[in-house]
């Protein structure tokens, strides 16, 4: 008997589903792309429990007749490829003919469709038990996918939690709305609207719906072309950045793609404009002859290869660089919305307000870490020894010998010496290390909470808001009081006292970028990054004048750090020239 057998069609579809359908977002992606290929001008996506329980996609596209509707669930059945030549000139989003049979094999599917002449209703369970009935003639297609992975429990087990699944779907629909501003998108989860665009073709209006008004005002239009490519879209001002690449949306002929080489090219355009590890918000649409790109790389169709990548990169670099060089990049000061003041004034009276202000002043004076010279130096050192985990009483054996300051060069490097030689200390990196270890200690000690007189408002994208909401408990555990404020906005009403008052808004925005990052959440990494970010923002910067007292403060306190040799990000804080090496440089020592 032959050992090799033709695989059962249902089994083959389930195996294919492992590549096409890994999570709920993949189902939504395939169904929405089918709607777009069907020339829909309006698409509604309704989810139950982030799509795990049910996904419904409705469109007003051209629909199908009964024969096509039944054939659509056959493997490799497609209307988008007729022969081999079509594979090299793909203009549709879908073309493999694998999505619908793969989805149907791991769920229960109900399809209602009409081309205006005949209406058809199909139901399938696990890719089998096909039932065909007549339906109404409303033109378009509605497909409902329920109980995803009910017959493949291993895959169901490895779905992420509902918040992450929903965030992935919202992120993808955001990108599709940016790609097709002339299509009206509506996304709901458990009857709550997460995104609604009007489909009038205005890309900037879609950006507003996704990112909010503050970021929309800081977007720069771009448009350029050469013999092979046409690019257009929006880039953000350098002051508007994110802590990850999720807000860099790249589209090729309307298809959302991921290409690390293009992302690096765009980030390189912002070199010297933004800090390392920060990324701009980009919506870049690339139009190109389909023959110059290959999208048949992976079943998800998000990987892509370009035939003339060099000319595309040149076009992008030239356009973005020119825009950044020509516009005024001086940030504008924005006044906080008056509603915040009125809201707080209704909740606290003048007497309570005064007490809180006095309390904040006392706490801040005690933990001040930004090198402002105190009027009473003795009192300053007394307070430092009381609250610092690097005081001489606690750290009797310093890691570095005592150094004597001899000045500062280039407004950045402290020159010091002792009997061993000469030292150059990076004033920012050293201060950052000192503050970092102090902040870590204060975080562990659960320091006093500061109530904000005017709550801080932070506006997020819908998918970012979902992740932030899931992690409110983590913020509250670390001394923050955070609440929803309608839409995709959160309000911060209090924060721990280790965040200096004058830097609180900048620090909180950066911490929020950390908390909304996608992927597996690592609490230890979060604590490290939160402390490092806070220490960086409260430390004296390079190219900044510091007084003699501040020089001595840095030199004395860096000695007692647990690790005085690098800043929290791994950059060196100090380098040394021994007496011997100096004498060699000046030819006083000849070997």
Using one digit for the tens of pLDDT, what is the confidence trace for 432-447? Answer: 989 998 888 888 876 6
Q: For residues 454-477, give the mean pLDDT.
A: 86
389 pLDDT higher than 50: no
pLDDT tens, residue by residue, 148-184: 888 877 777 777 788 889 999 999 999 999 999 999 9
Model pTM score? 0.66
Name all domains of the chain by residue range, CATH numbers in brackets. Answer: 9-200 (3.30.565.10), 212-326 (3.30.230.10), 339-577 (3.30.1370.100)
pLDDT tens, residue by residue, 104-155: 888 899 999 998 889 999 999 887 778 898 888 889 999 999 988 888 777 7
Instruction: Give the H or E element holding residue 583.
Output: helix 579-585
Tell the residue number behind the tokens 């690019």, with chain if given. Answer: 231
d(CA 63, CA 120): 10
57 pairs with which residues across the strands? 45, 143
287 pairs with which residues across the strands? 230
Phi, psi torsion values for 421, nearest 5 degrees: 150, -155
207 pLDDT higher than 80: yes
Q: For residues 564-575, give the mean pLDDT.
A: 84
Q: Which two tokens stand for residue 242?
A: 């994110």
Residue 430 CB partners (closer than 8 Å, separation 6+): 414, 554, 558, 564, 567, 573, 574
Q: Which of 429, 502, 232, 454 is nearest to 342 (CA)?
A: 454
d(CA 537, CA 543): 15
SS (H, E, C) 498-567: CCCHHHHHHHHHHHHHHHCCCCCCCHHHHHHHHHHHHHHHHCCCCCCCCCHHHHHHHHHHHCCCCCCCEC
Looking at per-residue confidence, does 271 or 185 come out higher?
185
pLDDT tens, residue by residue, 390-404: 444 444 578 888 999
d(CA 265, CA 312): 10
Residue 326, CA atoms < 13 Å, CB-side half-sphere: 9
Q: Do residues 201 and 181 make contact, with C-beta atoms less than 8 angstroms apart?
A: yes
């Amino acid at each position: 008997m032959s050992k090799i057998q033709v695989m059962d069609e249902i089994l083959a579809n389930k195996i294919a589903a492992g590549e096409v359908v890994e999570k709920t977002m993949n189902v939504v992606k395939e169904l929405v792309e089918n709607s777009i290929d069907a020339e829909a001008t309006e698409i509604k996506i309704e989810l139950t429990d982030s799509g795990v329980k049910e996904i419904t996609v409705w469109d007003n596209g051209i629909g199908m007749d009964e024969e096509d509707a039944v054939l659509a669930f056959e493997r490799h059945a497609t209307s988008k490829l007729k022969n081999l030549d079509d594979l090299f000139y793909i203009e549709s989003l879908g073309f493999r003919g694998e999505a619908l049979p793969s989805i149907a094999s791991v769920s229960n599917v109900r399809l209602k469709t009409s081309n205006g002449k005949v209406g058809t209703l199909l139901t399938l369970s696990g890719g089998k038990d096909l039932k065909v009935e007549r339906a109404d003639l409303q033109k378009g297609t509605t497909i409902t996918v329920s109980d995803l992975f009910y017959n493949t429990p291993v895959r169901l087990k490895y779905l992420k939690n509902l918040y992450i699944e929903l965030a992935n779907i919202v992120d993808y629909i955001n990108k599709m709305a940016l790609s097709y501003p002339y299509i009206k998108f509506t996304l709901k989860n458990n009857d709550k609207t997460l995104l609604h665009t009007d489909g009038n073709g205005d890309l900037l209006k879609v950006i507003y719906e996704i990112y909010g008004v503050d970021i929309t005002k800081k977007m720069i239009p771009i448009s350029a072309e050469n013999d092979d490519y046409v690019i257009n879209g929006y880039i953000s001002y350098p002051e508007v950045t994110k802590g990850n690449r999720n807000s860099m949306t790249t589209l090729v002929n309307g298809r959302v793609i991921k290409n690390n080489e293009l992302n690096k090219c765009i980030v390189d355009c912002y070199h010297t404009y933004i800090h390392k590890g920060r990324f701009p918000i980009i919506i870049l649409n690339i139009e190109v002859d389909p023959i110059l790109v290959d999208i048949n790389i992976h079943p998800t169709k998000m990987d892509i290869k370009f035939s003339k990548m060099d000319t595309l990169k040149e076009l992008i670099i030239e356009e973005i660089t020119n825009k950044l060089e020509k516009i005024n990049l001086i940030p504008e000061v924005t006044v906080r919305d008056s509603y915040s003041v009125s809201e707080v004034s209704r909740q606290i009276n003048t007497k309570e307000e005064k007490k809180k202000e006095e309390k904040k002043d006392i706490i801040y004076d005690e933990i001040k870490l930004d090198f402002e010279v105190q009027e009473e130096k003795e009192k300053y050192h007394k307070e430092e020894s009381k609250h610092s985990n690097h005081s001489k009483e606690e750290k009797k054996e310093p890691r570095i010998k005592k150094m004597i300051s001899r000045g500062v060069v280039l407004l950045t490097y402290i020159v010091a010496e002792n009997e061993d030689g000469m030292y150059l200390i990076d004033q920012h990196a050293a201060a950052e290390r000192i503050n970092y270890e102090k902040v870590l200690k204060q975080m562990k000690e659960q320091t006093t909470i500061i109530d904000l007189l005017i709550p801080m408002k932070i506006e997020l994208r819908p998918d970012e808001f979902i992740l932030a909401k899931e992690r409110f408990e983590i913020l509250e555990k670390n001394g923050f009081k955070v609440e929803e404020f309608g839409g995709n906005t959160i309000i911060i009403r209090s924060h721990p006292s280790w965040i200096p008052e004058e830097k609180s808004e900048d620090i909180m925005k950066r911490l929020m970028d950390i908390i909304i990052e996608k992927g597996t959440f690592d609490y230890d990494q979060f604590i490290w990054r939160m402390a490092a970010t806070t220490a960086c923002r409260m430390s004296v910067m390079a190219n900044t004048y510091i007084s003699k007292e501040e020089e001595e403060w840095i030199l004395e306190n860096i000695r007692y750090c647990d690790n005085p040799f690098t800043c929290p990000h791994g950059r060196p804080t100090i380098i040394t020239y021994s007496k011997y090496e100096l004498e060699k440089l000046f030819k006083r020592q000849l070997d």
